[in-house]
Amino acid sequence: MDYKGYCVKCKEKNVKMEDPKLVNMKGKGTVKRYAVSGTCPKCGTKMFRIVGAADAEAFKKAN
Ligand SMILES: [Zn+2]
């Protein structure tokens, strides 16, 4: 599955993340938040994209 995000260094939207990983972010209280973390294929800058629970499940199944 492709995950696209914004690279702050290239100032480019819809950059396909390289080596995407699902990360667990601690929200307030018991709220679980997920994000996909990857790197920009052009400059190697770390990219983050917040995803919903459904997307997180889809990511687990796809990987
Ligand atoms: Zn970049």
Ligand 1 centroid to Cα of residue 28, in Å, is 30
Task: Determine the pLDDT at residue 6.
Answer: 92
Ligand 1 centroid to Cα of residue 10, in Å, is 4
pLDDT in tens, 27-58: 678 778 899 999 999 999 999 899 998 999 99
**Residues 11-40: what's their mean pLDDT?**
90
Ligand 1 centroid to Cα of residue 44, in Å, is 6
**Which residue bears the tokens 């018991």?**
30
Residue 25 has pLDDT above 90, yes or no: no
Contact 52, 34 (CB under 8 A): yes
Number of Cβ within 10 Å of residue 50's Cβ equals: 11
The domain made up of 4-62 has a fold known as: N-terminal domain of TfIIb (2.20.25)
Among 30, 27, 29, 25, CA closest to 56: 25
Task: Determine the pLDDT at residue 32.
Answer: 80
**Residues 1-18: what's their mean pLDDT?**
93
Ligand 1 centroid to Cα of residue 51, in Å, is 20
